[in-house]
Amino acid sequence: MINETEIVLDKTDLHILRLMQDNARISNADLARELGMAPSGILERVKKLEQKNVIQQYTTRINPNALQQKMLAFIFMKASDGPGSDQTTLELAKIPEVQEVHHIAGDDCYLIKVRTYDSSTLMHLMRNHFSKIPHILNTRTTIVLETVKEQQQLVIPEK
Amino acid sequence: MINETEIVLDKTDLHILRLMQDNARISNADLARELGMAPSGILERVKKLEQKNVIQQYTTRINPNALQQKMLAFIFMKASDGPGSDQTTLELAKIPEVQEVHHIAGDDCYLIKVRTYDSSTLMHLMRNHFSKIPHILNTRTTIVLETVKEQQQLVIPEK
DNA sequence: GCTGAAAGCACCACATA
DNA sequence: TATGTGGTGCTTTCAGC
């Protein structure tokens, strides 16, 4: 595994990342034009960024409402195996409706983000999946009423 | 504005969305091959999905560690203007380090997700930005120690 | 690590069913 | 709404610096 602290990104890399973060479908030729370089040089850099796992995925953000996915919830979980163990988190991460799994500081051990069609689907998920994962002692669910902003764009420095 | 409840997606649309959600840089020709259809027909569908705001963005997921962004926090906020008012949420949404802003049920009014370089950048943000937004009564911050899963992929049905 | 050329393809508008 | 065609321009490899 590559030591991520050793990755050095120059001004050109950061510029590529900024453009691709905003539009993953930008053509290699357009990237080259923006940067004033030859397309082949850009292609090489992009491939290296993918290899180094700086670029993790090209993904399409889909409107959850278009798929009638109206329920979004954050669930805090206290677990008996503590944040050191991976078993519980891996079980949770396997569930496709679970978008995020974090170890957190404080009393609760995990925070997960779950998206489903409606409240009954969420209840079903909790009853049939979460409750079967060992070590989960209790859960505290926060229901989202309305989402004002939701994106994963990072703030990428100029240099 | 289009009434989102009226959007009807057929099997082909859902298949396109599934493929593009996993790889936004898939070529139109490859999409057509997967679906066994002519490329021009696919192109038209993709454009309509963009127009109808089913497809919201093509984005590149970048490894936060590669940019030394090691601090992730969830902040619950109680506000005096209540979840009905937009002023506070819009102020929060404008801050680039704030990735998510949700109205939530229960005692606290907002839940926001913030990503910064380190804890001092986060403190700086809270002191210089959050505290200047009116109506925020108090905040409760949850620090993420480790992220096991983080993605926005939706579960897209077959049909 | 970057450039430029060259072959192969993809894109996309348009005509058509 | 889907297909076929064709010109334009993009992608990607490789030699050379």
Q: Tell me the pLDDT tens digit for each residue of A101-136.
A: 999 998 779 999 999 999 999 999 999 998 888 888
| Residue B133 CB in 7 A reach of strand D | no
> Is B88 in CB contact (< 8 Å) with chain A?
no
pLDDT higher than 70, residue A1: no
Q: What is the pLDDT of residue B87?
A: 83
**How many other C-beta atoms lie within 10 A of the C-beta of residue B87?**
12
Verify if strand D has an atom below 7 Å from the CB of B45: yes
Residue, of B84 and B103, whose pLDDT is higher: B103
**Separation of first and last alpha carbons in chain B:** 26
* pLDDT value at residue B3: 47
Question: Which CATH number is associated with domain A11-51?
Answer: 1.10.10
CB contacts, 8 Å: A153 with chain B = 59, 96, 99
Nearest C-alpha neighbor of B48 from the set B9, B75, B79: B9
What pLDDT sits at residue A151?
Answer: 95
- Closest C1' nucleotide to B42's CA: D2
pLDDT in tens, A48-99: 999 999 999 999 999 999 999 999 999 999 988 766 667 888 999 999 999 9
- What confidence tier does A44 reach under pLDDT thresholds 50, 70, 90? very high
Cβ of residue A8 closer than 8 Å to a chain B Cβ: no
Looking at CA atoms only, how far is residue A118 from chain B in angstroms? 13
Q: For chain A, how big is the Rg over CA atoms in Å?
A: 20
Asked if pLDDT for residue B133 goes beyond 80, the answer is: yes
pLDDT in tens, B18-66: 999 999 999 999 999 999 999 999 999 999 999 999 999 999 999 999 9
Q: Best mutation site among B27, B59, B85 for testing chain A: the one with the most A CBs within 10 Å?
A: B59
Angle at A133 between CA A131 and CA A135, to 5 degrees: 100
Is the model's pLDDT at A11 over the cut of 50? yes
pLDDT of residue A99: 98
Determine whether the distance from the CB of B40 to the nearest atom of strand D is below 7 Å.
yes
pTM here is 0.92
Token pair 């986060």 is found at B122
Q: Does B18 touch chain A (CB under 8 A)?
A: no
Is-contact A64 B57, C-beta < 8 A? no
The Cα of B94 is separated from the nearest Cα of chain A by a number of Å equal to 9
Listed by start position, the domains of chain B span: 11-51, 64-143
In angstroms, the CA of B155 and the C1' of C14 are apart by: 37
Q: What angle do CA B91, B96, B97 make, to 5 degrees?
A: 105
Topology alike, domains A11-51 and A64-143: no
Cβ contact A111–B155 (<8 Å): no
Mean pLDDT of A20-36: 97
Estimate to the nearest angstrom the gap between the alpha carbon of A151 and the chain centroid: 9
The pLDDT value given to residue B83? 61
**Strand C: positions under 7 A of a protein C-beta atom:** 1-5, 9-15
Question: Average pLDDT, whole number, for chain B?
Answer: 91
| Class for the domain spanning A64-143 | alpha beta
Share of chain B above pLDDT 90, in %: 80
Residue B27: nearest nucleotide (C-alpha to C1'):
C10
